[in-house]
Amino acid sequence: MRTDVYPKDCFVRYRRNDDWEPITGTGCAHWVAHEKNIRSGGTDDKCLIGYTYRVHVLADICSEVALEDVRSGDIWISDKEDHAGLVIRVMPNLYPDEMPEITICHDSSRQNGVTINDFKSYFHGQGWFCR
């Protein structure tokens, strides 16, 4: 079982008989869905208990939020829709022409688990926000 996914107990799906396989979606979307109680998408888009595990499903069900209106609890989605996370903190920037300081929590295979990173430095200020 992968060590970077959370919650671990539903990162598998039933195939047939007593045959199980890892989910084919992204762990980041699945983690966000559990945190936000998102149960959208078709049967092939959800875990056994009904939480989505595809970024495009998250993107399809929420409305985009302008950068200046981002707040804690909003969802961040990468431009390629291959990664997602949750905004956990927004601090206004002291310089009016600069973007706010946004902190994102996400399930990252690269960082081996749920982790916290800065939007501007780690994600290079790329992606979009929705709620």
- What pLDDT score does 1 carry? 44
Strand positions, DSSP E, the chain: 12-16, 19-22, 64-65, 75-77, 84-91, 101-108, 113-118, 128-130
pLDDT tens, per residue, the chain with 131 residues: 445 555 666 766 667 777 777 666 678 999 999 999 999 998 888 888 899 989 999 999 999 999 999 999 999 999 999 999 999 999 988 887 888 999 999 998 888 889 999 999 999 999 999 99
- What pLDDT score does 126 carry? 98
- What pLDDT score does 43 carry? 82
What is the CATH class of 8-130?
alpha beta
DSSP labels for 22-65?
E-SS-HHHHHHHHHHT---S-GGGB-TTS-B--HHHHHHHS-EE
Asked if 131 and 74 touch (Cβ cutoff 8 Å), the reply is: yes
Q: What is the residue whose two structure tokens read 């905004």?
A: 87
- Cα distances from 7 to residues 37, 79, 98, in angstroms, run 13, 25, 36
